[in-house]
Chain A
Amino acid sequence: AQSVTQPDIHITVSEGASLELRCNYSYGATPYLFWYVQSPGQGLQLLLKYFSGDTLVQGIKGFEAEFKRSQSSFNLRKPSVHWSDAAEYFCAGYWGAQKLVFGQGTRLTINP
């Protein structure tokens, strides 16, 4: 079955430091890939998505993600995090039938 894995349950970084959140998908057909962010008590907001073409995707709030087919990965990056980036981040894959498959989520804590 298709699956999405986020290896890191919780990451802590200092404000101003760079960030990389990992996401891997199961082998097989390459899915469409998404990153969502969930602020405390809020719903999910789409950060960026990859369908095809350029493997480096730019999103909102200064985030970007790079698709690497050889590693079945779609890691999310930000050069310099802000305290407001503290949230839970979800990677998701779409293999068809209008259904998203979500990873377990990574909780990001920002140290001042």
Chain B
Amino acid sequence: DAEITQSPRHKITETGRQVTLACHQTWNHNNMFWYRQDLGHGLRLIHYSYGVQDTNKGEVSDGYSVSRSNTEDLPLTLESAASSQTSVYFCASSDGSSSTDTQYFGPGTRLTVL
């Protein structure tokens, strides 16, 4: 079955380190998204991509970057991790063929920055 996976599921790192969170989908979806989830804020969009080589900034993109070299993967990189980036990160994908597409979410990565 097609799915969307994230790795690692849990990560502890230190302030200043570079961290990369993986997202892989097997639906062949054009659109991929990264969100962070924080108490009281719901999910906020970090970056998104409409296809290979396309990336766009979301609502809370500072300190994060993404690259899209193929359809299946959209890794999220924290260039220099900060304690404020402790959060749960969700990846999502959608087909992109119509404006009524549903987004499908991965299981999430819990990141702790010490």
Contact = CB atoms under 8 A, between A and B. Distances in A.
B106 A98 contact: no
A28 interface: no
Contacts of B106: 43
B26 interface: no
B107 A90 contact: no
Interface string B12-37: 00000000000000000001010100
Interface string A70-112: 0000000000000000000010101010111011110000000
Interface in B78-113: 90, 92, 94, 96, 99-108
Given A43-B108, A98-B31, A49 B42 contact: no
Contacts of B45: 99-100
Contacts of A102: 35, 42-44
A98 B50 contact: yes
Contact of A44 (B90, B94, B96, B100): B90
Given A42-B107, A43-B107, A49 B102 contact: yes
A104 B105 contact: no
Interface of A: 4, 6, 9, 32, 34, 36, 41-46, 49, 51, 90, 92, 94, 96, 98-100, 102-105
Interface of B: 31, 33, 35, 40-45, 48, 50, 58, 90, 92, 94, 96, 99-108
Given A100-B43, A102-B42, 6 more contacts: A43-B90, A92-B43, A98-B31, A98-B96, A102-B35, A104-B40
